[in-house]
A and B are shown apart, each in its own frame.
Chain A
């Protein structure tokens, strides 16, 4: 009888010793099978249980279970240790040089003209302006006569024009859009008109095509002080809260009074960035508005000029070359 007990103790002690000595998970599994498997040492011992007395059987059974539990615990513990160790080894072997170059995604960017246009629209949009557009090939009528620039008038010299055919020009300013909008809509009109415009002029600071955006606000009672307020808001939002504006009298046929608008730049510079004024009554007449009922202001600026100021671009021609060295910077 005591034989079975001592057999159990022997198996148990040996198993614990083997578990302790196992150097990897495979060895540990062999140990488990050799002790706890169907044909393992412990099972073999328990097969002799039938010859034990009824009184001893539960005791032997209990002792066997006790060993089984101990061995399982030891296996579990050892397994955890070995697994941790294996992971450590793997981690060490999988180390990469994180300083190697990345796989890289293609980065795109919007043209500074687009970005600046959006910035202007978003800024002025907060005051309630909507957007209006029109064609680049425009009727001479809308481009000139309708905005108070008659044929054979010296004001035409202000805008050297590309002609396409009888009565057809490449629009020289976005003012043509204003007239389209007013002919389609009664006041209140609050629109921004962005777009490409064309003039026969090409040198380091002039491109034969460039972009403008014009603002138009027409309602029953809109005054020149409203124009000043809107431009002041715009300048501060675009160029910084300490920006000041300065209006100087000037002449554009489609406004009266007309103004050139400078913004303060740095400590002691003024930059001319806008033309503006009160909408000339002739335009309301051309739009079909009853005389004396609407009043409004308009302003316009070159988008490239603003973009060059915002980004510090010093060569206008870069805008139109599709050069990735340029485009990727914005």
Chain B
């Protein structure tokens, strides 16, 4: 909200702030310290500080330049000045604007004393465009002959005000007018605010019968409605001070009657409306809830179709406005209007908000009604409005009328005084302060809250316009605002229960954080991607999302991610894009974040549960050289077994032996969302216990090509819940196991296998056959080629034999070895190579 300093100064004595010499800034600081944050303080005369009115005494040709003139000007007093000027539209006797030496004009031009073609110029005569008053202009600005000389231009233009831009919080609707702010400032400065002049209209004794009657048909949604009928009003332009005031706060002048309603709103914060009384049919005006499909033409020349339930204003024949939002185009005041009907009413806050939001008509009026207006201030508001209209447009009041529900009856106004009960000890205990009774009362008084009863339990009368004060805690804030938040001491709260360990070890995040550390140690950088993405990008990977955003910012953010892989792939591509070297680029990224899915309609199942399922995934992408060394020998590209090494590291820590890798089935449906994502011959499915726990392998070469990757891309995505639930929690202490002090024996074999038999199978056969002495079976070389038949592979295998507590005898090892070799032959058709 834009606030005029001059306007505010009329409503509250700011002289104590002005003593400091910087009134507006001091005011801004005061407001900010009270929770009414001032975002900016702008002088309207910015750029005009050294521009004054002068009269041209003499105009001659520049002695050295035909196109320039040399003017002698006067400020009305002091020595005349010589100014060189390029324009020709002025004549002797004209009053013009002089930018004096030192001026910095709105367009950024700095004025210095200088010689132009040998003649000293003591400033510059300005055009409208140079002054920022017009986009384009020809010649310099000629001021009216009546202009006084030596006057600052800001004053001539009425731009001598300073504007404070406030960022008001939603709870302080009472400050959405200059008078409301004046009240707040007055409290802080210990002075009284000065309300605008108005002859009070007494609705309890109407002095003239209103020609228009009011109907309240919306119950509590519109509990009171006051009207004033005026005749003999003369519509016309507003006087200069009104135009200046409205423009200063970012509004604009329409005509004197509409301006009066706007002035009233910006003064008291209460939106009001003026109707052309001749256009109200049936001598009646009322408020009711509209019907769905009903159409209303509005002031802004648009038409809205109601959704039903909106508060509308109607007359005997038609609907003439959206209550609290905007008046109708069929009843507005126009040039020929002479009879008007002024409305000042109370409309239900959230109903107005719903209407303004639904029809995208967020207006100054709806903004104020949403935040709530002073229900008891309505009589003064319409009295003041009547005074303003009379002042600006003449006319006389021919009738006043009010309609109020019992909850707003005039007679019971005193009984509606809101009184909060609070113990004075509570005020201090809550804030942690030690304020005396007098200090507490003074603090509350600053906010116009009167303590009406002494003793330990206080009764605090709260002003009707402070809709935000309803519980004792609200009063603690008023005390704190008044004394200043900086007066609250700093203490450390007492511990009343034993804190959990600080190192995260008990928290739900602990294991995830350990996983992050592990992947970092494995040489991966952590990426963080947004939780949403586009359908098109998912489609590249044969994926789709079951969770959409109903109001996305753009296509980029339309659905929630079902997998972290597409995001990491995008990251990898970004990195590849800025890699310009012939050196191979290493990209190793991981991400640990939730993914989203839903198998039923997205809705809330209870207060605490939705149908959307969040699964945390641990995902990684790996591209490029195995090492980071610059020498060629270190730059071999990673392959499946590098990826497998990382996975084994993870499983070792998190899942134990219950996690297995199985061949990846690329058929649709086989690997769920990951079908078609991976190279069918160089990928695995991860199985934890009997649960699918993810996939790992080479990004399908088709995708690699389509996405223009320069190197094979290795990816993995693990289901966090599946892998972490399977082993002992990674954060729990591990049990110690002793080892044999006796040296084991090793035997090496060259085993010739069918290509279709996996190494894993060969190993498991050996371990089983070699029981109990064979403790480990390890492949240490793989050979395919001219020395073995096609379709065969030769594996070099080392078997380790040992026994707890003793050395093995040669014969025992031999016997176990024979059993292994026999089993190989019998079970998988494997031969030893000669």
Interface on A for B, CB 8 Å cutoff? 100-111, 113-114, 118, 121-122, 125-133, 135-142, 146, 150-155, 157-158, 162-168, 170, 180, 183, 188, 190, 194, 196, 198, 200, 202, 207-209, 217, 219-226, 228-230, 232-233, 246-251, 253, 256-260, 278, 280-281, 295, 319-325, 327-328
Q: Which of B481, B493, B589 contacts A217 (CB 8 A)?
A: B493
A154 pairs with B371, CB closer than 8 A? yes
Given known contacts A108-B588, A164-B612, A251-B171, A170 and B491 CB-to-CB distance under 8 angstroms = no
Given known contacts A103-B629, A130-B499, A162-B551, A109 and B473 CB-to-CB distance under 8 angstroms = no
Given known contacts A167-B604, A168-B604, A327-B525, A137 and B596 CB-to-CB distance under 8 angstroms = yes
Across-interface contacts of A281 in B (CB, < 8 A)? 471, 473
* Bound complex: CA A223 to CA B433 (Å): 9
Across-interface contacts of B609 in A (CB, < 8 A)? 139
CB distance from B736 to the nearest CB of A (A): 29
> Which are the 10 A-B pairs with shortest beta-carbon distances?
A106-B523, A225-B432, A322-B571, A249-B35, A165-B602, A104-B628, A167-B604, A257-B477, A223-B432, A251-B169
A155 pairs with B530, CB closer than 8 A? no
Across-interface contacts of B489 in A (CB, < 8 A)? 225, 228-229
13 contacts across the A-B interface (CB closer than 8 A) = A106-B586, A108-B519, A131-B504, A135-B612, A139-B608, A217-B493, A222-B493, A225-B433, A226-B493, A281-B471, A321-B571, A322-B589, A324-B589
Across-interface contacts of A139 in B (CB, < 8 A)? 604, 606-610
Across-interface contacts of B441 in A (CB, < 8 A)? none
Within 8 A of A (CB), among B472-489: 473-474, 476-477, 480-481, 485-486, 488-489
Within 8 A of A (CB), among B530-557: 530-532, 547-554, 557
B35 pairs with A106, CB closer than 8 A? no
B834: CB under 8 A from chain A? no
* Bound complex: CA A113 to CA B530 (Å): 13
B37 pairs with A224, CB closer than 8 A? no
* Bound complex: CA A309 to CA B488 (Å): 27
* Bound complex: CA A280 to CA B481 (Å): 17
CB distance from A326 to the nearest CB of B (A): 9
Given known contacts A165-B601, A168-B603, A322-B571, A256 and B526 CB-to-CB distance under 8 angstroms = no
A224 pairs with B432, CB closer than 8 A? yes
B522 pairs with A226, CB closer than 8 A? no
B170: CB under 8 A from chain A? yes
Across-interface contacts of A130 in B (CB, < 8 A)? 499-500, 506-507
Q: Which of A136, A141, A151, A253 contacts B607 (CB 8 A)?
A: A141
* Bound complex: CA A150 to CA B506 (Å): 35
Given known contacts A154-B353, A168-B602, A250 and B528 CB-to-CB distance under 8 angstroms = no
Across-interface contacts of A167 in B (CB, < 8 A)? 603-604, 610
**Interface residues of B, count at CB 8 A:** 111
CB distance from A260 to the nearest CB of B (A): 8
A101 pairs with B629, CB closer than 8 A? yes
**Other contacts beyond A137-B610, A229-B491: 4, CB < 8 A:** A108-B525, A131-B509, A135-B610, A256-B471
A322 pairs with B553, CB closer than 8 A? no
CB distance from A278 to the nearest CB of B (A): 7
* Bound complex: CA A207 to CA B524 (Å): 25
Across-interface contacts of A158 in B (CB, < 8 A)? 170
B513: CB under 8 A from chain A? yes
Given known contacts A131-B509, A153-B353, A327-B526, A137 and B553 CB-to-CB distance under 8 angstroms = no
Across-interface contacts of B524 in A (CB, < 8 A)? 106, 108
B118: CB under 8 A from chain A? no
CB distance from B368 to the nearest CB of A (A): 10
A225 pairs with B491, CB closer than 8 A? yes
B631: CB under 8 A from chain A? yes
B523 pairs with A108, CB closer than 8 A? yes
Given known contacts A108-B524, A138-B610, A258-B477, A320 and B629 CB-to-CB distance under 8 angstroms = no
Q: Which of A135, A196, A202, A256 contacts B476 (CB 8 A)?
A: A256
B119: CB under 8 A from chain A? no
A247 pairs with B488, CB closer than 8 A? yes
Across-interface contacts of B531 in A (CB, < 8 A)? 136, 170, 196, 198, 209
Closest to B520 in A: A108
Across-interface contacts of B169 in A (CB, < 8 A)? 250-251
Which of A153, A162, A246, A319 has the most chain B CB atoms inside 10 A of its CB? A162
B790: CB under 8 A from chain A? no
B634: CB under 8 A from chain A? yes
Given known contacts A106-B588, A153-B350, A198-B531, A322 and B570 CB-to-CB distance under 8 angstroms = yes
A105 pairs with B628, CB closer than 8 A? yes
Closest to A189 in B: B497
CB distance from A174 to the nearest CB of B (A): 13
B721: CB under 8 A from chain A? no
Closest to A146 in B: B607
Q: How many A-B contacts at CB < 8 Å in the complex? A: 305
Across-interface contacts of B520 in A (CB, < 8 A)? 108-110
* Bound complex: CA A58 to CA B34 (Å): 119
B135: CB under 8 A from chain A? no
B532 pairs with A164, CB closer than 8 A? no
* Bound complex: CA A107 to CA B549 (Å): 37
CB distance from B748 to the nearest CB of A (A): 29
CB distance from B169 to the nearest CB of A (A): 3
B629 pairs with A248, CB closer than 8 A? no
A188 pairs with B497, CB closer than 8 A? yes
* Bound complex: CA A131 to CA B513 (Å): 13
B614: CB under 8 A from chain A? yes
B627: CB under 8 A from chain A? yes
Across-interface contacts of A140 in B (CB, < 8 A)? 604
Across-interface contacts of B594 in A (CB, < 8 A)? 135-136
Q: Which of A102, A208, A321 contacts B553 (CB 8 A)?
A: A208
Across-interface contacts of A207 in B (CB, < 8 A)? 530
CB distance from B305 to the nearest CB of A (A): 20
Given known contacts A133-B509, A224-B480, A108 and B491 CB-to-CB distance under 8 angstroms = no
Across-interface contacts of A190 in B (CB, < 8 A)? 497, 499
Across-interface contacts of B481 in A (CB, < 8 A)? 249, 257
CB distance from B810 to the nearest CB of A (A): 35
Given known contacts A104-B629, A140-B604, A109 and B526 CB-to-CB distance under 8 angstroms = yes
* Bound complex: CA A108 to CA B353 (Å): 51
CB distance from B360 to the nearest CB of A (A): 14
A256 pairs with B523, CB closer than 8 A? no
CB distance from B355 to the nearest CB of A (A): 10
A320 pairs with B432, CB closer than 8 A? no
B502 pairs with A166, CB closer than 8 A? no
* Bound complex: CA A140 to CA B610 (Å): 9
CB distance from B816 to the nearest CB of A (A): 40
Q: Which of B502, B526, B527 contacts A125 (CB 8 A)?
A: B502
B301: CB under 8 A from chain A? no
Across-interface contacts of A107 in B (CB, < 8 A)? 523, 628
A152 pairs with B353, CB closer than 8 A? yes
* Bound complex: CA A114 to CA B531 (Å): 16
* Bound complex: CA A67 to CA B350 (Å): 120
A209 pairs with B532, CB closer than 8 A? yes
Across-interface contacts of B557 in A (CB, < 8 A)? 208
* Bound complex: CA A107 to CA B35 (Å): 48
B630: CB under 8 A from chain A? yes
B370: CB under 8 A from chain A? yes
B492 pairs with A248, CB closer than 8 A? no
A280 pairs with B571, CB closer than 8 A? no
Q: Which of B33, B350, B497 contacts A151 (CB 8 A)?
A: B350
* Bound complex: CA A180 to CA B492 (Å): 25
* Bound complex: CA A165 to CA B560 (Å): 13
Across-interface contacts of B601 in A (CB, < 8 A)? 165
Across-interface contacts of B550 in A (CB, < 8 A)? 162-165
* Bound complex: CA A196 to CA B616 (Å): 13
Across-interface contacts of B627 in A (CB, < 8 A)? 103-106
Given known contacts A256-B473, A322-B589, A324-B575, A127 and B513 CB-to-CB distance under 8 angstroms = no
Given known contacts A128-B499, A295-B430, A320-B528, A256 and B614 CB-to-CB distance under 8 angstroms = no
Across-interface contacts of B596 in A (CB, < 8 A)? 136-137
* Bound complex: CA A108 to CA B570 (Å): 19
